[in-house]
């Protein structure tokens, strides 16, 4: 995983090449100018994985968060963790982006959270509405929801990929960054 994604591309990419979980986090961030802890982790590691530099990641989080808090508070409370996730603080570990399994199996979202896997964690009616809003045809939504009903969340995601990209997937989606990379390959 890795590339040369820049900050000015993020908004557009969130609509074309992000899996549903990351689009949800990006949208929530834009709407609320904030994300809670696990959302920051899940999304922060993803954008690191698509190749956003630490400098640009800091600008991204700071520009949103400081719409609701002053820069000082952001720098004290949040900047450290962002640098940390890039391995620049603490033990200098290089944290890797979360896989679908990890997102599906751990830390289920509570009220006010936007992390998790929408195929696993979003109420079925709401999920249907969102898919319709993203212009998935009714037949496609039914196919996706059939996978969801059988707890095949990653297959639901793979079908979503196929329907939004007009291709047959070569393999099932098992990582949000894999989804992104494959989308970029198809759309480029
Ligand atoms: Fe994200 Fe994976 Fe769920 Fe797809 S299956 S929405 S990539 S966590």
Q: Closest Cα to atom 5, ligand 1: which residue?
A: 154
Its sign, for the CA torsion 17, 101, 110, 160, is: positive
119 in contact with ligand 1, CB cutoff 6 A = yes
The pTM of the full predicted model, rounded to 2 decimals, is 0.94
pLDDT tens, residue by residue, 73-101:
999 999 998 998 888 777 766 689 999 99
CA–centroid distance, 72 to ligand 1, in Å, is: 34
Q: Closest Cα to atom 4, ligand 1: which residue?
A: 157
Kindly report the three-state secondary structure assignment for every residue of 41-64. HHHHHHHHHCCCCHHHHHHHHHHH
111: which 2 tokens? 């009220």
Report the distance separating Cα 91 and Cα 158, nearest Å.
Answer: 36
ipTM of the complex: 0.99
């Amino acid at each position: 995983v890795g590339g040369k994604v820049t900050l000015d591309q993020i908004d557009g990419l969130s609509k074309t090449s992000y899996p549903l979980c990351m689009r949800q986090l990006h949208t929530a961030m834009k709407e609320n100018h904030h994300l809670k802890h696990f959302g920051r982790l899940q999304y922060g590691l993803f954008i690191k994985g698509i190749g956003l530099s630490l400098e640009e990641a800091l600008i991204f989080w700071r520009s949103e968060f400081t719409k609701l808090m002053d820069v000082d508070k952001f720098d004290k409370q949040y900047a450290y963790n962002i640098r940390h996730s890039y391995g620049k603080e603490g033990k200098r570990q290089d944290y890797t982006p979360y896989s679908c399994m990890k997102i599906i199996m751990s830390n289920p979202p509570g009220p006010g959270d936007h992390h998790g896997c929408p195929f696993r964690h979003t109420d079925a009616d709401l999920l249907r509405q969102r898919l319709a809003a993203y212009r998935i045809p009714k037949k496609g939504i039914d196919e996706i929801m059939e996978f969801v009903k059988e707890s095949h969340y990653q297959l639901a995601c793979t079908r979503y990929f196929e329907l939004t990209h007009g291709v047959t997937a070569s393999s099932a989606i098992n990582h949000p960054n894999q989804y992104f990379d494959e989308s970029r390959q198809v759309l480029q």
